[in-house]
């Protein structure tokens, strides 16, 4: 660990270039927060690492196919449904195309969650290899 001339650790330890690049590729800015939207492959990785996946589509859309571990909270119910989500984990929000998920992720950020939206929605999720069950 590096120290300042006074012998104390620096306020922000230097990050390697590799770490910064990996954060950018994964959708996380240098401060560790999530971007407002991420590509589906990044979303799949975030969920595999423990992020909660929230599907904000309507019930009929949900029944046509959804990710196995997703929590179903229709967009109009995000404020109430947020109580079911663990506060300490990142949240990845998905819909059909990415429009509603952006709104849902913003609502969750306003409620104090670290949330991001899946660009391209469920179609992109599936193209990136994300599992879907009916």
The verdict on whether 95 is a catalytic residue reads yes
The 10s digit of each residue's pLDDT in 30-56 is 456 789 999 999 999 999 999 999 999
Residue 113: φ, ψ to 5°: -90, 155
DSSP per-residue letters across 105-121:
HHHHHHTT--EEEETTH
Q: What is the pLDDT along the chain (134 residues), one digit of tens a residue?
A: 444 444 544 444 445 554 544 554 454 554 567 899 999 999 999 999 999 999 999 999 999 999 999 999 999 999 999 999 998 999 999 999 999 999 999 999 999 999 999 999 999 999 999 999 98
Question: Which are the contacts of 64, defined by CB distance < 8 A and separation ≥ 6?
Answer: 134
Q: Which of 56, 82, 95, 115 is catalytic?
A: 95
């Amino acid at each position: 660990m590096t120290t300042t001339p006074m012998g104390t650790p620096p306020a922000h330890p230097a990050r390697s270039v590799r770490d910064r690049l990996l954060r950018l590729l994964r959708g996380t800015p240098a401060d560790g927060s999530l971007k407002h939207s991420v590509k589906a492959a990044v979303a799949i990785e975030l969920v595999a690492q423990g992020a909660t996946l929230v599907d904000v589509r309507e019930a009929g859309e949900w029944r046509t196919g959804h990710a196995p571990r997703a929590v179903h909270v229709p967009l109009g119910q995000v404020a109430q449904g947020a109580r079911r989500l663990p506060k300490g984990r990142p949240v990845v929000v998905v819909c059909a195309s990415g429009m509603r998920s952006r709104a849902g992720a913003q609502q969750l950020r306003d409620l104090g969650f670290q949330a991001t939206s899946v660009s391209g929605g469920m179609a992109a999720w599936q193209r990136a290899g994300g599992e879907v069950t009916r």
